[in-house]
Structure 1
Amino acid sequence: MKYLFIFFLNIFSVCSSHTAPKQTQAQEVRVADRIEPNNLSLTWGVLEEKYLGKNQTLSVLTFKNEGKAPMPASGWSLYFHSTPSFKPKEGNAEVKVESINGDFLRMSPTSNFKQLAPGATAKIEFVAAGQIVNESRAPRGFYLVWDDNKTKGYTLENYAIIKPAMNQIGWVEPKDIYAQNSSIKDIPAEKLTKIFPSPAQYKETGQAFTLTAAIPVVADNAFQKEAALLAVYLETIFGQKPAVKATGTMGKAIRLQKKAGLGPEAYELTVSPQEIVISATTPAGAFYGTQSLKTLLPASALAKKQTSVAVAGVQVKDAPRFGHRAFMLDVARNFHQKKEVLKLLDLMALYKLNVFHFHLNDDEGWRIEIPGLPELTQVGGRRGHSLDEKNFLQPSYGSGPDVENVTGSGFYTRADFIEILKYARDRHIKVIPEVETPGHARAAIKSMDARYDRLMKEGKKAEAEQYMLRDVNDKSVYRSVQYFNDNVINVALPSTYTFLEKVTDELLSMYKEAGAPIQTIHFGGDEVPNGVWEKSPVVQELMAKNADLKNVDDLWYYFFGKLNTMLKKRNLYLSGWEEVGLRKVRTNGRLSYVANPDFVKDNVHVDVWNNLGSNIDLAYRMANAGYKVVLTNVSHFYMDLAYQKAYDENGLYWGGYLDVDKPFYFIPFDYMQSMRVNEDNKPITSNAAYAGKEQLKPSARTNIVGLQAPLWSEMILSPERLEYMLLPKLLGLAERAWAPDPAWATKPTSTQSKAAYVQDWSEFVNVLGKRELPRLNYYAGGFSYRIPTVGATTQNGKVVANAQLPGMTIRYTTDETVPTVKSKVYSGPISEKGTVKLAAFDVAGRSSRITTVENGQGNLGGE
């Protein structure tokens, strides 16, 4: 989908060695005498890549009994998450592994597993297909269940993942980072553009305005809400809220005034010693003028309460490049609290992103209350250890056995959602709710199964069947990309459409109560696996009655045709992932996808993520065919991908690696020119992969409606991790979606364009390091953005270092201790021999990961 969940922990084989004396299988351990779960520790680590010369990895899972009672030889199971192909080696394996569903597995002892005495360890080795680049591929979420009480799970808190001692995978090294940073120029702060994203026209006058709390905000009636929000923000700077007054007030002021003839989101901003004037035709334009004023203020103004702030004199005329500037948040895989959502809306508003794509459900969770369907949140909104999933879903992504886990369980009440809608509305952000269908719908399916069971027990058969999403007699066999075999809604059931109409109408009711705009609902539509619906009696019955349905593939167009009609009746248009607008074509047994002409004239919008392999040109093919396309390219915009190919760098890597530069150098109308590296982060030296690919037609440029950055939450278990993955690379998306097309994008391979790019890139990272990230230390409560690792190498017997973001301070040690804010500041080549450890620090004292260089031995260490 958006996310091809390709695990490399595939085929596990097991051999073991015990450091404890062997015990007989006949030994029995009483319940009162067996090990406490907290005393069982697990450690997993990679031993060897390319094991036996093949594309596989040797790893080891070590059990250690740290308690005073034994670990029994039988009577227990370990539940955890990995690929279903996780299997022990044939032969005298000590454990067996069974797939439950999805990535959820159960390990239990065989007769060869020996009791683990106190203080003893057992090492079990695994062979896994593929290479383990970082921790995202490690097995996780281990918990213990005793056979005599299979309803209770105990989280194994004592679990550690060990970093491999050697770089066998080709991780990025400090010298590589140094080379990447070498073209970056340090630009004096006073020479930087002081509004972000870059405005269309910008001029500094040298005539500053002195801003204090006594300066009122004077606004036309149409802009009173925008003025009020600005005043609230200024209160965080001065400790006192400026007065908001109506037009006609004389004297020094911030003025929001109406001006005819500007675009729907355009504004003009003039700062002189007498006043600050924001002119716009619409409230949205006035709002973006106030956001530019915020970034015009120095970041230091937020560090402590101010009595006055000097605002640089500027003349600005500005409007966005794209009308659809989107961020997508997945709250289904792992839940994120309302507080964090509101904070993200503040971040979006500051950087002029105007579409919040809210991914509210998936296989692993349903996150919004729908009145009349309580099971959606009671069952679909909670995860924990369950034998039947009647009351809540099974764990996913390491959420564990506890149903109160705040990442596995959680949902937004109707009141919560209305509050979010109002908050977004006031900041001129449109919220597009996503109801994932027909695939990725396991949480909804299981919820409606629970509803069915409840009502059938009450003898209410008709009511029980009203919202069913699966055919109970369906014998179809399939596996989704995430390994589920029961996650696709049956599109032949009338109750499916009753359910979707119910959800749609309840959502519309919330929007109406919030006074929030809604033009579309996103109905997903991706990654429905082969085999679905083939053995469903209700499908066969429908196909027999409908001559247009010649095979199960045709059910796709039937389903989205009905959804499209349903939305039209409600004055909405259909949005979805790219598959919504594609048609399957089989030629000589080979499957391919072409743009489906059925929905072209219906204003269907598609988020196209797949620009990998043969699908490099898919977005352009769809735009050329007439679809409204939001470029959501995995190669440049998937915020959940790891920044670097480094073991310690969190994030997925199935679609490549995503540092802050990739969104920045994206060229929307010629993005193949933006594909500088492959999915393994190696330079692309040939354009052969693009030969014969379809380019965007000039007439179809208007069909590229905007850009979108999604953040999928499989690996995100805290607000800090969310913000780390998001920032600063989201700012590259903000720049590219708002700012004018840069000159270097026209002929990016020319010498002149390359030089222009280096200059623009340097200005961008200087703005980030010296203005925007220091601002984000405080803005909306502060953000835990990523601080890039230091680049370093040896030259002429000395260590030289650099940072991706000028404005960060590099500090180092030579005594093998970890650098702190009190360590030496790097100001030039380091001549000391031995181990040099370096880290970059921001103005708030937070640091990057450690970079280690061995000076004098000729080797560079890992990060």
Structure 2
Amino acid sequence: MSPMKHLLVAFLSFLSICSTAQTKKEPTKAAAENSADAPVALTWEVVEEKHQGKNQTLSVLTFKNTGKSPLPATGWTIYFHGTPSFKPKDSNAPIQIEPINGDYLKLMPTTGFKELAAGETLRVELVAAGQIVNESRAPRGFYLVWDKDKSKGYTVQNQIIKPSKNMVGWTTPQDIYGRNSGIKDVPANELTKVFPTPAQYKETGQAFALTEAVPVVADQAFQREASLLATRLNTIFGKKPEVKTSGAGKAIRLQKKEGLGPEAYELTVSPQEIVISASGPAGAFYGTQSLQSLLPASALASKQTSVAVPGVQVKDEPRFGHRAFMMDVARNFQKKAQVLKVLDLMALYKLNVLHFHLNDDEGWRIEIPGLPELTQVGGRRGHSEGEKNFLQPSYGSGPEVDKSSGSGFYTKADFVEILKYARDRHIRVIPEVETPGHARAAIKSMDARYERLMKEGKKAEAEQYLLRDLNDQSVYRSVQYFNDNVMNVALPSTYNFLEKVTDELLAMYKEAGAPISTIHFGGDEVPRGVWEKSPVVQQLMAKDSKVKTIDDLWYYFFGKLNDMLKARSLYLSGWEEVGLSKVRTNGKLSYVANPDFVKENFHVDVWNNQGANLDLPYRMANAGYKVVLTNVSHYYLDLAYQKEYDEPGLYWGGYTDVDKGFYFIPFDYMKSIKVNDDNQPLTSTAAFSDKEQLRPEARANIVGLQAPLWSEMVTTPERFEYMLLPKLLGLAERAWSPDPAWASNPESAQSKAAYAQAWSAFVNVLGKRELPRLNYYAGGFNYRIPTAGAVVQNGEVLANVQLPGMTIRYTTNGEVPTAKSKIYTGPIAQKGTIKLAVFDPAGRMSRVTTVENK
């Protein structure tokens, strides 16, 4: 499911943008002299929310000629990315803006644009739908193209000025202070030292002295797990411990014990030995991960000669068998090294499914032998005329090909390496091939293949994998504003393509020796109007009595996909739509669970638990579908942590801080919806009263939890890790650990007290153990450091932090705090501007919080 859905739906009424291009002239000689670059800079600034009393925003785009010659009145176009609702306020404005496709727009001078002299500026007011809560709604990726050479784009300097006042109800330091006020500081020696919280845990007070001389003695079945543990210990001691199959004396022992579950383990640490018992390799592996979590973060900071491992007795197994993270590399690409780093992180926290979102409208990211255009065209973005060689830019990826995260793909060898790495860490990789919608990259790639082979006179070969009806006159627009992103499901060549991709993927899994039981075929957000004027669709409907309406094509398509997968001993996974039927009652469209596919073992990732679909995950589980709870309300990691302009992330589905994943109640999640989409406390739960609850007998159909990280706004590894952590740790806790006692009746006074205690313990574990560990683990992670909460009371500034163990530092002279600034230990009496920042143990700091103490 694409997270831009509701953000863009809100803009549908603002699509009436002027589309009449003005006559262009060749650029002047002065412009030609400047054509090696873009002699213009742009500044964008929000001016007014609720402009004219409507749900729209007034902003200003200021042009400045930064060249030495005048910017001509004609002969150029500026391309950029943003909502298609951006348009000049004045109908006589000197510019016009036209949508191209998706988030890709172009800005052109009108007859009212006058030559702009060197150093001069031009101010143009724009109106756009909705509010500009944070920078994710700002226009971005501006570049200029001269009419003289339309094949080349030049990046334009772009500055965004933050609104100077709170216009949209941003989160305040006082809000944060209030949310943190119930958190208690828990002494480190009282914290559970295995994370996620194990089913049974007891400390004995009898530590084990671990050194490089201590061997790992493992049953033959656990040699791979033993070797991985030894490799990890090598990073601590600078020497890899010996791995043996037998031996007496002090050792780490991995031994078989029958009768435990497939992922269960027992861990005992005594002064004489460390013993991990399991009936299978997965359990043994999770025992080694718990052993690693027993080690203090300081053990990873520098080479050690000896580490004291706390004496514990642990009996543990996961609550859910499907504990998933979904990684979107289609919208913006992450390199192989980052994927391997993510797998290490997942392994540490016992997540066992990587849902790999490998293609979408904006990119195809895996090499498929025999179909080179998929990566040559579909895996690259840049300024393009006709998209014959690569895709158009998206999400501000810029004009230059291969110069941004808009381009990139995994070779077959890369993917096999990723699969092996995941296999060794007991992580199943579920590849996602988005169909039939969100398929623009594949469609454009196969168009390029078709054109190449037709030029070679190979018509039959050219048509073999074509994904669209060349004579289709259907008109549609997806919620991401694409008008050409849906495969034609009546074409036999579409199934040729999907079989080819499936078989090549299976060959890679076989080469890697990695398990595969399903392929995720997407299935979401196919817009109205698709296929309605396709001749091949009409031909299919004429000869197939089961396809009577356009809606029936949905069941036709996924029925054929299901048959294809069953022939390969796989089951079908998809977003919730693959298991839904359209029902029209009195002209009103609704979706209900499709009974025809229940018996086919479809697994559905259900994200939509908002509005009329609040109970959709439970309705589908009650109907018999295997459901992975992927609730947008709690687990969409790409949503901003909080409502603040400087806080990156989308917000169409609300806001997700680390607490939402922690307090999620899988079997009764409506009781864990505490705030609305605007992050304000719910004042009424009346909307829940008529919703379907999960039936006890359907609990077995909730197979697991998943947190997706969509990447529209994630262009660097640093931003990726910021959005990922620490939010992912809430999912890890809830997916692995037993159902907490406070979840059975969360509104009771007893449960509220138990929750407050559990929440305090959780954030203390994160702040004092896990995040300090992640400063070093797998090369270190750029996790988010929370901003300080602050409030003025009785003439003094009080401050607090969400994660105990982190340090608040402050200044009273208006300067930004540094690692040498005063440490906050109590109320600040000084008057004036107080600036506070939170520092982690490695010295990284949060954004600055400013409070006026008058």
TM bracket (short chain)? over 0.9
Task: Please show how residues 115-264 of structure 1 align to structure 2 within 5 Å.
Answer: 115-156=115-156, 158-247=157-246, 249-264=247-262
CA contact (8 A) 2:38 2:143 kept: no
Q: Which amino acid aligns with 2:449?
A: R
Deviations 1:767-798 (A, max 9, x none): 00000000000000000000000000001100
Residues paired across the two proteins, number: 845
Which residue is 2:836 aligned to? 838
Q: Is the 8 A contact 2:724 2:783 kept in 1?
A: yes
Alignment of 1:322 onto 2:324: no
TM-align CA RMSD: 1.4
Q: Distance in 2 between matches of 1:546 and 1:306?
A: 71
Q: Check 1:33–1:464 CA distance in 2 against 1; reply closer, same or farther (3 A cut).
A: closer
The aligned runs of 1:821-860 (5 Å cut-off) are: 821-856=819-854
**C-alpha offsets along residues 472-491 of structure 1, whole Å, 9 cap, x if unaligned?**
00000000010000000000
After superposition, where does 1:639-658 map in structure 2 within 5 Å? 639-658=637-656
Whole-Å separation in 1 of the counterparts to 2:319 and 2:202: 19
TM-fit CA distance, 1:845? 0.3
Q: Return the letter of the residue paired with 1:142.
A: F
- 1:91 and 1:613 map into 2 onto residues whose CA distance is 37
**Partners of 2:484 and 2:804 in 1: CA distance:** 50
Following superposition, the deviation at residue 32 of structure 1 comes to: 4.0
State which of 763, 781, 784 in structure 1 corresponds to 2:761. Answer: 763
Partner of 2:22: none
C-alpha deviation, 1:84, in angstroms: 2.3
Name the residue aligned to 1:289. Answer: 287
For each residue in 1:231-250, what CA deviation from the matched residue of structure 2 results, as whole angstroms up to 9, or x when unmatched?
Answer: 00000000011000113x00
Aligned match for 1:355, one of 348, 353, 356: 353
CA–CA distance in structure 2, aligned partners of residues 127 and 193 of structure 1: 53
Q: Give a deviation string over 1:311-365, Cα, whole Å, max 9, x none.
A: 0000000000000000000000001000000000000000000000000000000
- CA offsets 1:676-711 (integer angstroms, 9 cap, x no match): 001110111211111211000000000000000000
Q: How does 1:692-841 map to 2 (within 5 A)?
A: 692-841=690-839
- Residue 828 of structure 1 aligns to a residue in which SS? coil
Which position in structure 2 is the counterpart of 1:538? 536
Check whether the contact 1:471–1:490 (CA below 8 A) recurs between aligned residues: yes
Separation in 2, partners of 1:810, 1:623: 46
2:526 aligned partner, one-letter code? V
Distance 2:596 2:614 in 1: 23
Give the secondary-structure state (helix, strand or coil) at the position aligned to 1:602: coil
Could you tell me whether the CA contact under 8 Å between 2:80 and 2:143 is conserved in 1? yes
For each residue in 1:718-764, what CA deviation from the matched residue of structure 2 results, as whole angstroms up to 9, or x when unmatched? 00000000000000000000000000000000000000000000000
Distance 1:117 1:170 in 2: 40
Deviates more, 1:99-108 or 1:66-75: 66-75
Partner of 1:22: none
Mean alpha-carbon deviation: is it higher for 393-402 or for 2-11?
Answer: 2-11
1:29–1:72 contact (8 Å) kept in structure 2: no
8 A Cα contact 2:90 2:125, kept in partner: no
How much has 1:547 moved relative to structure 2? Answer: 1.1
- Over residues 568-598 of structure 1, what are the superposed CA-to-partner deviations in whole Å (9 max), with x where a residue is unaligned? 0000000000000000000000000000011
TM-score by length of 2: 0.98
Please give the alpha-carbon distance, in whole angstroms, between the structure 2 residues aligned to 1:212 and 1:67.
65
Alignment of 1:279 with 2:277, yes or no, is: yes
What SS class does the counterpart of residue 313 from structure 2 fall into? strand
Equivalent residues of 1:34, 1:70 under 8 A apart: no
1:583 maps to 2:573: no
Deviations 1:797-826 (A, max 9, x none): 000000000000000001111000000000
Q: What's the CA shift for 1:50? A: 1.3
User: Could you tell me whether the CA contact under 8 Å between 1:13 and 1:88 is conserved in 2?
Assistant: no
Deviates further, 199-208 or 117-126? 117-126
2:72 match = 72
Residue of structure 2 in register with 1:93 after alignment = 93
Query: Following TM superposition, by how much is the alpha carbon of 1:280 offset from its aligned partner in structure 2, in angstroms?
Result: 0.1
Contact 1:788 1:840 in 2 (8 A): yes
Identity of aligned residues (%): 76
Q: Which amino acid aligns with 1:170?
A: G
Q: Is the 8 A contact 1:11 1:88 kept in 2?
A: no
Matched with 1:21 is: none
Q: Is residue 788–residue 836 contact of structure 2 (8 Å, CA) maintained in 1?
A: yes
| 1:2 CA displacement | 4.0
Amino acid at match of 1:77: T
Which of 507, 510, 514 aligns to 1:509? It is 507
Residue 860 of structure 1 corresponds to: none
Question: Equivalent residue for 1:47?
Answer: 47
Shift of 1:85: 3.0
Aligned residue type for 1:162:
I
Contact 1:12–1:128 under 8 Å retained in 2: no
Secondary structure of 2:707's match? Answer: strand
Secondary structure at 2:722 match in 1: helix
Give 3-state SS (helix, strand or coil) of 1:317's partner: strand
Give CA-to-partner distance per residue, 1:94-140, whole Å, 9 cap, x none: 11112211110111101111111111111111122211100000011
Structure 1: unaligned runs, 5 residues or longer: 15-24, 857-863
Checking the alignment, whether the CA contact within 8 Å between 1:13 and 1:90 is kept in structure 2 is no
How far apart are 1:406 and its partner, in Å?
A: 3.4
Aligned match of 2:83: 83
The residue that corresponds to 1:18 in the other structure is none
When structure 1 is superposed on structure 2, of 28-37 and 737-746 the one drifting more is: 28-37
Deviation at 1:83, TM superposition (A): 2.0
CA–CA separation in structure 2 for the residues paired with 1:426 and 1:39: 53
Instruction: Return closer, same or farther for 1:793/1:12 CA change in 2, 3 Å cut-off.
Output: farther
Give distance in 2, aligned partners of 1:549 and 1:765: 54
Who is 2:20 aligned against?
none
Counterpart of 1:47 in structure 2: which amino acid?
A: V
After the TM superposition, which of the residue ranges 79-88 and 133-142 deviates more from structure 2? Answer: 79-88
Measure the CA separation in 2 of the matches of 1:29 and 1:829. Answer: 65
Residue number in structure 2 paired with 1:108:
108
* 1:30 Cα offset (Å): 3.4
How far apart, CA to CA, are the structure 2 residues paired with 1:159 and 1:784?
26
Q: Which amino acid is 2:372 matched to?
A: P
Structure 2 match to 1:417? 415
Q: 8 Å contact 1:678–1:684 — kept in the other structure? A: yes
Contact 2:93 2:124 in 1 (8 A): no
Question: Any idea what the Cα deviations from partners look like across 1:546-567, whole Å, max 9, x if unmatched?
Answer: 1111110000000000000000
Distance in 2 between residues matched to 1:96 and 1:31, nearest whole Å = 20
Structure 2 SS opposite 1:451: helix
C-alpha contact 1:13 1:126 (8 A) present in aligned 2: no
Flag the 1:27–1:155 CA change in 2: closer, same or farther, 3 A.
closer
SS in 2 for 1:558: helix
Partner of 1:17: none
The amino acid across from 1:66 in the alignment is: T
Q: Secondary structure at the match of 2:652?
A: coil
Contact 2:39 2:71 survives alignment (8 Å): no
- 1:364 is aligned to 362
Matched AA of 2:457 = G
Query: What is the one-letter code of the residue matched to 1:296?
Result: L
Give the distance between the partners of 1:167 and 1:37, measured in 2 at CA: 37
SS state at 1:255 partner: strand
Q: Does structure 1 conserve the Cα–Cα contact (< 8 Å) formed by 2:437 and 2:525?
A: yes
Structure 1 406/168 Cα, relative in aligned 2: closer, same or farther at 3 Å? closer
* One-letter amino acid matched to 2:776: Y
Residue 67 of structure 1: CA displacement? 2.5
Task: Return the letter of the residue paired with 2:92.
Answer: N
* Contact 2:30 2:69 survives alignment (8 Å): no
